[in-house]
Structure 1
Amino acid sequence: MVGAVVALRQAPIAQLFPTLLTAAFLWTISSWGYYAVVEVLGLERGYDQAPFTFVTYYLAWSLIAMFAFRRALARELTTVSIANHAIALFPILILIGLFSTLVLPLFPDISVFRAPPNPPEFMFSSAWYYLPKSTDILFQQVMIAAIVRTADHLKIRIVYIAFLLATMFGGIHLTLALDGFTSLYVARFTAAAVIFGFCAPFLYLRVKHGFRWAYTAHFTFYLLDAVLTHLLLAVPASS
């Protein structure tokens, strides 16, 4: 019996558990903190109405996550690595900024009558929404990278990491239902999270500069979803 308990504790998935718990804790507290700040400031759309506040907020959480997972991310957190990632992602962020500022407004406005009763923040937000979203995604990617790197260090097969991350990332997005969002919105984002969660380990472990690809793919989804939303819920054309 004792031997079985010891063997269980030494199993790779058991050794990964503290990392999973830490990521879940950081995600939960950061989400609670976001809504607390929104309430204190009396905002309806936090990202859009206070972009610099929430850029700082999620940048702080990104730094906290980096510190919490500093051992797992030792290779990624060198000065040279961070500088190279920043230089590589800078033009991508510029393109995202130009798209959200110049291209997205060209799509039809979203109808308040076709929008769900409790619309997600991005539906009626300006391009400013995507500024804090950039650091929100950074925070999420730090945690995803830590889980993937830790699991890989523990010699867990990549396909198992993929299924684990897909389940975890998708499961977290199911909690959007608790915020009153429509079932279609929850299903769409959960499905995207499952797909991304499954692909992320392959990006991080099999593709050069995986963090950059994962970050860009994550951000691109939000832009594509915004375009789709503008098209599907557009104000009807006047006759």
Structure 2
Amino acid sequence: MKQLLFTIAILAGAWSVSSFGYFWFESLLDVEIGYNEAPFIYGAYYAVWSALVLWIFRPSLITRHGVRFTYEHSIWTVLILTMMAGFLLVILPRLPETSWTRAETPVEFFYANSWYFIPKSIEIVFQQILIAALVFALSDYQLKMSKLSLVTATLFGAFHLTLALAYDNPLYVLRYAIAATLFGAIVPYLILRVRNGFFASYAMHCGYYAVDITLIHHFFAASN
């Protein structure tokens, strides 16, 4: 139980502090949308966070559960990077221009361009490491997959409710919380039962944002 509580505490702490750091950097750099305007700085920021949590959870992920980077994983990495590059360089620039005509202020992601997804993809690595650490910590208690999925779905969905602290758009917060809950229910099975499940989980996580920004460009397309 001590290991599980430690994992949850580190997960919640790292997630919260990194999020506050994101907005602190926006103020420091005097930018409106950090991922668009300072992608490499934010990419490096989340790369440091990813390395930090990987080091913290190294005894669990590598020593106890034997997680290793293999040749097959390198193929998955190249495949995912190729698909991301294709979306960012070919598909996203060709989507319809957007126009916001409502009274409330749109969330930052509404204005996401191709540069935005460079740090976002690294942030997702950071989140996936935290999720994997949680799943492995829970699996040590020999929980049934249904119970394990319920716990991760609840925690992942609850963490995304904290978006309400930064955005005053309840529909946006609810939409992401629901998506996170559904994803949290699936990810234990992917990581524990599916070959190369971590990479499948990562691809699904990135794919959600690709679908979301595509829908945004079509639903809020500027009228000619």
TM-score interval, normalised by the smaller of the two chains: over 0.9
The answer to whether 1:224 aligns with 2:211 is: yes
Question: What amino acid does structure 1 have at the position aligned with 2:207?
Answer: T
| Cα shift readout 1:112-145 (whole Å, capped 9, x = no counterpart) | 214x633222211320001111110000000000
Question: What amino acid does structure 2 have at the position aligned with 1:53?
Answer: I
* Alignment check: 8 A CA contact 2:150 2:185 kept: yes
- 2:14 corresponds to: 26
The answer to whether 1:169 aligns with 2:156 is: yes
Residue number among 114, 117, 120 corresponding to 1:133 in the alignment: 120
- 2:174 corresponds to: 187
Q: 1:1-239, aligned counterparts within 5 Å? A: 15-74=3-62, 75=65, 78=68, 81=69, 84-114=72-102, 117-236=104-223, 238=224
| Cα shift readout 1:44-99 (whole Å, capped 9, x = no counterpart) | 01111111111111010001010111111115654xx1664344222212221221
What runs of 5+ residues in structure 1 fail to find an aligned partner?
A: 1-11
Question: What amino acid does structure 2 have at the position aligned with 1:25?
Answer: G
**Separation (CA, whole Å) in 1 of partners of 2:66 and 2:35:** 28
Greater gyration radius: 1
**Separation (CA, whole Å) in 2 of partners of 1:188 and 1:99:** 23
**Separation (CA, whole Å) in 2 of partners of 1:158 and 1:59:** 31
**Separation (CA, whole Å) in 2 of partners of 1:154 and 1:211:** 20
* Alignment check: 8 A CA contact 1:166 1:194 kept: yes
**Separation (CA, whole Å) in 2 of partners of 1:206 and 1:77:** 14
- Runs (4+) of structure 1 exceeding 4 A deviation are none
How has the CA–CA distance of structure 1 residues 84 and 54 changed in structure 2, closer, same or farther, with 3 Å as cutoff?
Answer: farther
The SS at the match of 1:72 is helix
Q: Percent identity?
A: 36
**Separation (CA, whole Å) in 2 of partners of 1:19 and 1:157:** 19
* Alignment check: 8 A CA contact 1:97 1:130 kept: no
**Separation (CA, whole Å) in 2 of partners of 1:37 and 1:16:** 31
Higher mean C-alpha deviation, range 218-227 or range 175-184? 175-184
- 1:3 corresponds to: none
